[in-house]
Structure 1
Amino acid sequence: MPLFDSPELAPLAHFLTSLAIGLLIGLERERNPSAKAGLRTFTLVAMAGTLTALLSEKTGAPWLLAAGLLVMGGMMVAAYTKDEDEEDPGTTTVAAVVLCYGLGALVWYGYSQLAVTLAILTTILLYFKAEMRGISQQISRLDLVSILQFAVLSFVILPVVPNRGFGPYQVLNPYQIWWMVVLISGLSLAGYAALRIVGQRHGALLTGLFGGIASSTATTLAFSRHGRADPGLLGIAALVILLANWMVMIRLAIEVAVVAPSLLARMLVIFGCGAAAGLVALYLTVWRRMDNRPDAPRLEVKNPTEIRAALTFGMLYAGVLVASAWLSDLAGSSGVYAVALVSGLTDVDAITLSSLRLYGLGTLAGEQAATAILLALLANIAFKAGLTLAIGGAGLARHTLPGFLSAAAGAVAGWLLV
């Protein structure tokens, strides 16, 4: 008879899971010389949590679980209180012990997968103490404001806006509009955070990549100015600009994957061909010719989650959505294409997301949505090429134009394939 089929030994699986959780967290704490709890303590605490939950359930005494938590926490506080001269007050270890006890209880109540996941995340937090402290010391006031504003956009505003259609053609769904704002703000914040943490310390490649996620327009504008101000930076400026605009296609692919996964395969062909052609041109015309690659100038990016910017994007997205629906009803797909060409000049995200929204509503067919996104991408590439010429001058334009044209031609070739 299998071991766990025995009624008396059936709970053993829960205790083995708690044992593994305690060993995992305790193994990390064992490495910390100042910790009063290590491998054995955490293992016993986790199993004590499971045992107390079992007894609490079987005896109908829920207070046993709370009493056990108080005992475990009190024992750890007392252990650290004895050594008043210790520099480490031990609050992290005490918190970890309390959490470990709770995870053991979760296992008994049938949340083993959740408990194991939380144990892994807890161990990661404990292990990367130095790295997290370094990141926290690098965070500026602007960084903290950006994080807080994104939290407001995502967890305060989004849950309370109504989730139903309003206005012409019922396309103005406040929840869907604000969800697009959160998506774009999240992508921008991720690029901004990556740029702040590693981009400036690892040269032009990462500056271009993360700058493209945060804001390809700001990156193009900034490095066009650098290229004009210092002819010695023409190569590095062209590299950063082309990489930033190459990342636009990666960004759009992420948006398609989140908003309209059924359209992703088709769009990956378009974006993939454009990205591949752009990379080849980038290597042949810029990267291969750069004998020395100096550090890229610092790229200053504004708050990517500013409330005013979020509201502006939300209104732009709503406007493009209504215009696309109206012109689609009035002039068919050609009306949407006209909107895509105009709006794509300055903001390719708005028309992309509105096209995907109309595709989801059944207003646009898949090939029409793909064509609208392609036209917006081409208009955006043309705008960035013109911006490079106007701000950076002819010298910088000669470096970047082959890359822009190759990316555009590759995207068109991908569209022809699908």
Structure 2
Amino acid sequence: MELSVQELQAAPVFLISLGIGLLMGLERERKPDARAGLRTFGLTGLAGALSGLLTQASGSAWLIPAMVLGLVLTMVFSPHEKGDENDPATTTTVALLLCFGLGVLAWYGYPQLAVALALAATSLLYFKTELHGVINRLTPRDLRSFLQFAIVAFIVLPVLPDRDYGPYGALNPYRIWLMVVLISGLGLVSYAVLRVVGQEKGTPLLGILGGLVSSTATTLAFSRHMKSQPALQPVALFVILLANLVVLLRLAIIAVAVTPKILPALLPVLGLGAAAGLVLAWRSWRALGADQAPELEMKNPSEMRTALAFAAFYAAVLLAVAWLNDIAGTGGVYLAAALSGLTDVDAISLSTLNLFEHGGIEAAAVVRVIALAYVVNLAFKFSLVWSIAGRGQAVKLAPSFGAVLVGLVLGLALT
């Protein structure tokens, strides 16, 4: 008997649904006390696709809910071995329901999404032990900060008005808070990796993630380590240099998120500055002995107080940049960059990029403003090392910071 064209077109969907079930069932087969395995999950995936076909063909909207109810009742009342008291088989039941739903999803024209969700679900099932280990590394304060970030990103942001207010129309609540979400999210991911992976994994990790979370906090902490533990001075100098080089990467990420069209002008400058510093960072890393980096203490960057403080500072910088640009032109923006760079590079970079996006400043001026803010901030970090660790350590750091400065100037000269 030959298959019709319609039947042939339906066959790939059933194969995908079967594959989804077999993938999830294969993971469940690893558990001896699992209530469903390879065959059950495979059949459940097929049942999902079949229910989608029958619902579409018959127009009976009740068919899929009825099959879901039947699946739940089967799992509840089916005889099974008593497993681990701490794992009451709810995970397998939910996984079966998800498998059924993914089969339905594949039938209704979303096979790629169904496969992607199946891979994500299987990963969650497989890495149960590792995920528990991650949770155990996080403190209650960390978990609270993650919830706060979720509020910041998914509850507060959508309800803010996307309109310009205030003098010069410089204050847009939605865009200001969007930048808070961007900066907090970038720092939160780095902070979480630092907490989960552990600082014992390597000195470069401290420098890279410390720079993404807070280069100022990293510089301050390791300047104190240099003063209290002279044996750690080479490690501390390397971490401080790397953290401040990562700020250049951070600025590039911010530019991509805000206005990617600035990248052709900005990347050569940031790239040459980073390349010059990385040469000396590599030499410092090669000269280090055993990895003995001290603990780096820093606050979670997504806490609500931190987010609100950045929002207020960013709004103030936006107003200052708009005002100075109005009364003094680009020279006024340079003044704002010099003043803001003493404490923070993100705010002035974001505000200048925002001004560029609205046509208020040229690309070349934006690049010079960001470079100036970074250089002023680098000088401030150098003064921190000098005042805390002493003149001798600052002198050792000077060639590396100087190389970054030379790279930035060269990049500006070539653009």
TM over 0.5: yes
Match of 2:13 in 1: 14
Task: Give 1:203 deviation, angstroms.
Answer: 2.9
Deviation, structure 1 residue 85: 5.5
Residue aligning to 2:120? 121
Per-residue Cα deviation, 1:275-316 (whole angstroms, up to 9, x for no partner): 1110112233x33443x2342111111121121221111111
> How far 1:86 sits from its partner (Å)?
4.8
- Superposition deviation, residue 223 in structure 1: 0.6
CA distance in 2, matches of 1:223, 1:4: 72
Corresponding residue for residue 303 of structure 1: 300
Is 2:335 aligned against 1:328?
no
What secondary structure sits across from 1:298 in the alignment? coil
Structure 1 residue 4: Cα displacement: 9.0
Once the 2 structures are TM-superposed, how far is the Cα of residue 398 of structure 1 from its aligned partner? 2.3
| Percent identity of paired positions between Structure 1 and Structure 2 | 51
**Residue in 1 that maps onto 2:335:** 338
1:149/1:216 CA distance change after superposition, 3 Å: same
Amino acid at match of 1:287: W
> Do structure 1's residue 383 and structure 2's residue 387 form an aligned pair?
no
Q: CA deviation at 1:5?
A: 7.4
Shift of the 229–48 alpha-carbon distance from structure 1 to 2, 3 Å rule, reads same
- State the match for 1:111 in structure 2: 110
Q: In 2, are the aligned partners of 1:22 and 1:44 still within 8 Å (CA)? A: yes
CA–CA distance in structure 1, aligned partners of residues 344 and 280 of structure 2:
24
> Would you say 1:317 and 2:305 are equivalent positions?
no
What is the CA deviation profile of residues 132-159 of structure 1, one whole-angstrom value per residue up to 9, with x for unaligned ones? 1110111111211211111111011101
CA contact (8 A) 2:200 2:293 kept: no
Name 1:218's counterpart in structure 2. 217
User: 1:390-409: per-residue Cα shift (whole Å, max 9, x none)?
Assistant: 11112321222111111121
C-alpha contact 2:176 2:311 (8 A) present in aligned 1: yes
Distance of 1:25 and 1:289 partners within structure 2: 48
Change (3 A) 1:401 1:5: farther
- SS of the counterpart of 1:299? coil
Among 74, 81, 84, the residue aligned to 2:82:
84
Matches of 1:13 and 1:233, distance apart in 2: 61
Q: Distance in 2 between matches of 1:209 and 1:406?
A: 19
Segments of 4+ moved more than 6 angstroms: none
Q: Is the 2:33–2:81 Cα contact (8 Å) retained in structure 1?
A: no
Q: Deviations over 1:217-274 (max 9, x none)?
A: 0110011011011211111110111111111111111101111111123222111111
Preserved contact between residue 385 and residue 393 of structure 2 (Cα < 8 Å): yes
- Contact 2:259-2:353 within 8 A present in 1 as well: yes
Contact residue 4 and residue 12 of structure 1 kept, 8 A: no
2:230 partner amino acid: P
Deviations 1:372-402, CA, capped at 9 Å, x for gaps: 1111111111111111111111232122211
Give the conservation status (yes or no) of the 8 Å contact 1:204–1:296: yes
Kindly indicate whether residue 94 of structure 2 is the aligned counterpart of residue 95 of structure 1: yes
**Contact 2:232 2:292 (8 Å CA) reproduced:** no
Number of residue-to-residue matches in the alignment: 413
| RMSD across aligned positions (CA) | 1.7
- Structure 2 distance, partners of 1:211, 1:99, is 39
Q: Deviations over 1:326-375 (max 9, x none)?
A: 21121111111111111011100000110111111111111111111111
- Give the distance between the partners of 2:279 and 2:83, measured in 1 at CA: 63
Deviations 1:7-34 (A, max 9, x none): 3433222212212211221222222222
Question: After superposition, where does 1:253-402 map in structure 2 within 5 Å?
Answer: 253-284=252-283, 286-290=284-288, 292-402=289-399
Q: 1:86 to 1:322 in 2, by over 3 A?
A: closer
Which consecutive residues of structure 2, in runs of 5 or more, have no partner in the other structure? none
Counterpart of 1:403, as a letter, is S
Q: Distance in 2 between matches of 1:125 and 1:267?
A: 40
Relative to 1, partners in 2 of residues 1:8 and 1:279: Cα closer, same or farther, differing over 3 Å? closer
Return 5+ residue gaps in structure 1 as ranges. none
Equivalent in the alignment of 2:165: 166
